[in-house]
Amino acid sequence: MLIGSLAWLALTLGLVGIYGVISYLTLQRRTEFAIRIALGAKHRDVIGLVLLRGIVLTSSGLAGGLGGSLLLYKYVQHLLFGITPNDPAVLVGTAVLITAVGVLACLGPAMHATSSDPMKLLRT
């Protein structure tokens, strides 16, 4: 039960970290988005650009994490009870959850950047 609780805590901390990093990187590009909108880009194009960047970052992290977990499962096999270390349901569920958090982390700042006045952002 202790290991399960710590696993949920680790997953929660990881999701908060993913959200923080992706939203921070997106907020840093506000001026770029303002320039794109001022030059005629549509809001959905800017949101698509942000989502693409976030999905690429999330996917690369997922690929590394899933690859590492499949390579190192032999070392934690004796600690797990009730599931196998390379259980597809757990791996896919975690990947879907992390991808969803990555997309949500991009949507908030992207919507904020596209709803702001481009000239106000360019002045600052």
Q: Where are the domains of the chain?
A: 22-123
Measure the CA–CA gap between 24 and 39, rounded to whole angstroms.
24
Six token digits for residue 1: 């039960």
Please give the pLDDT value at position 17.
86
- In this structure, what DSSP letter does residue 77 have? G
User: Residue for token digits 């970052």?
Assistant: 57
Please give the pLDDT value at position 9.
93
Whether the per-residue pLDDT at 86 is higher than 80: the answer is: no
| pTM, entire model | 0.73
Measure the CA–CA gap between 53 and 55, rounded to whole angstroms.
6
Measure the CA–CA gap between 54 and 104, rounded to whole angstroms.
9
- Burial of 25: CB neighbours in 10 Å, binned 0-12, 13-18, 19+: middle
Six token digits for residue 47: 């949101």
